[in-house]
């Protein structure tokens, strides 16, 4: 989605697109501690490579995730 909107169509810059899918909706619905990486904020983090690829990677269950309560890694359920 981001590749098409930012790179292919040029409708938004990558920072603008990320803002529109993270901080902007959080503020719109009143979640003051979400939508950005900051101390005492709750965050889901996705790391990706913005360079183009011919084929998107297959969807799969993550091997581990961070828990909200202690931010330590834990195994995802199979």
Q: Indicate the pTM of the whole model.
A: 0.56
For the chain, helix (H) and strand (E) counts, in that order, are 3, 2
CA distance 30 to 33: 9
Query: What range does the domain containing 39 cover?
Result: 2-75
Question: What tens-digit pLDDT sequence spans the chain (78 residues)?
Answer: 777 888 888 899 988 988 888 889 889 999 889 888 889 888 778 777 777 766 666 666 666 666 665 444 444 444
Q: How many residues are given for the chain?
A: 78
User: Which pLDDT belongs to residue 38?
Assistant: 87
Name the domain count of the chain.
1
d(CA 22, CA 24): 6
């Amino acid at each position: 989605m981001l590749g098409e909107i930012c790179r292919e169509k040029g409708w938004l810059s990558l920072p603008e697109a990320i803002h529109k899918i993270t901080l902007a909706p959080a503020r719109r619905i009143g979640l003051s501690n979400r939508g950005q990486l900051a101390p005492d904020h709750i965050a889901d983090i996705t790391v990706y490579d913005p360079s183009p690829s011919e084929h998107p990677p297959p969807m799969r269950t993550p091997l581990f995730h961070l828990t909200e309560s202690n931010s330590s890694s834990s195994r995802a359920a199979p």
